[in-house]
Structure 1
Amino acid sequence: MKKIIGITGGIASGKSTVTSFLKSRGYEVIDADAVVRELQQIGGALYVAISDTFGPTYFLADGELDRITFGQAIFANPEMRAQLSTLQDKLIQDALFDRCQVSQSDLVFMDIPLLFEKNYTGFDEIWLVYVPKEIQLERLMKRNNLSQADALLRIDSQMPLDDKCALATRIIKNCDTIDMLEIQLTAIISEI
């Protein structure tokens, strides 16, 4: 019987580090962000929905979605963010679980940043990659070259990590070194 584990966290919490570790150990990881990028490719279901709803403003001359400009607009405008959410949520969830169902693996991990915010269900376990907000802010500013105000807009657009702790099956603390994170993950995997 297939076991499905959802992995979530917040922006710049370290989900990519966790999923890279899992992939390096041979586990299958379905990445929601990668699925979204595929759906946003020219002609993809999400591309068409964004174009029809928001018009040509957020597209480059070659027809590609201008992810930077679109992302800034979405994070700065709650009404626009809600409108996008309505457009994309079902498309993304269906695409993710379709991939999971065709997987040949008995253990599948799904990396879904907004797992709780979008009310995803159907997991055997949910792992939360946790980091204190101060570290999250510092990492996001450095990683994306953002001002503190822009980074806080992005962090605050998501459910606080402290609130997600109560909803997760397991909490993976990513406040120390990568070696410590890998020790923690190895122990968790040996339990499942």
Structure 2
Amino acid sequence: MKKIIGITGGIATGKSRVSAFLKSHGYEVIDADLVVRELQAIGGRLYLAIYDTFGQTFFLENGELDRVKLGDAIFSDEKMKERLSVIQDKIIRQELLDRCQASKADVVFMDIPLLFEKNYAGFDEIWLVYAPRETQIERLMKRNKLSRVDAIKRVDSQMPIADKRALATRIIENCDTIDVLEMQLITIINEM
């Protein structure tokens, strides 16, 4: 029987690093962010839905989705964020479900940043990649070259990381070096 493990966290907590580690050890990881990017590519289901809803506002001259402009808009306009969320939610959920069902692996990891916020269900376990709020802000400023105000705005747009801790099956602390994180992951994998 297939085991499905959700991986979540907050922005800049290290979900991608955990997913990359799992992939490098032969595990199948379905990355919701990558799925969304595929669906947002020219002609994809999300691309068409965004175009039908907002027109050319968030598209570059070459026809591609302007992710930066769209991201800036949704992080500064709550109504637009909600409208886009409703449009995308059904398409994304169905695609993730289809990919999970099609998998032949015994263990499938699903990296879903908004797992709790969007009430995803059906997991045998949920692993939370945790970093304190201040660490998230600092990482986001460095990674995305954002001002502190913009980094805080993005962190605060998600459910507080402390609230997510109470909902997870397992907490992966990502507050130290990469080596410490990887040793922790090896221990967790050996316990599966």
TM-score, normalised by the number of residues in structure 2: 0.98
Distance 2:73 2:9 in 1: 23
Query: What's the CA shift for 1:41?
Result: 1.0
| Aligned positions of 1:11-160 closer than 5 A | 11-160=11-160
> Aligned AA for 2:187?
A
Q: Which residue of 2 aligns with 1:189?
A: 189
Deviation at 1:183, TM superposition (A): 1.2
Superposition misfits of 4+ residues, deviation over 2 angstroms: none
How far has the Cα of 1:187 moved from its partner? Answer: 1.0
In structure 1, distance between residues paired with 2:182 and 2:45: 37
Aligned residues with identical type, % of pairs: 70
Structure 2 unaligned runs (5+)? Answer: none
Q: Write the distance in 1 (CA, Å) between the matches of 2:156 and 2:94.
A: 26
Total equivalences in the alignment: 192
**Using the alignment, how far apart are the partners of 1:147 and 1:64 within structure 2?**
26
State the SS of the aligned residue for 1:179.
helix
Alignment partner of 1:108: what SS? strand
- RMSD of equivalent CA atoms: 0.7
Q: Deviations over 1:42-72 (max 9, x none)?
A: 1111111111111111100111100001100
Correspondence list, 1:157-172, <5 A:
157-172=157-172
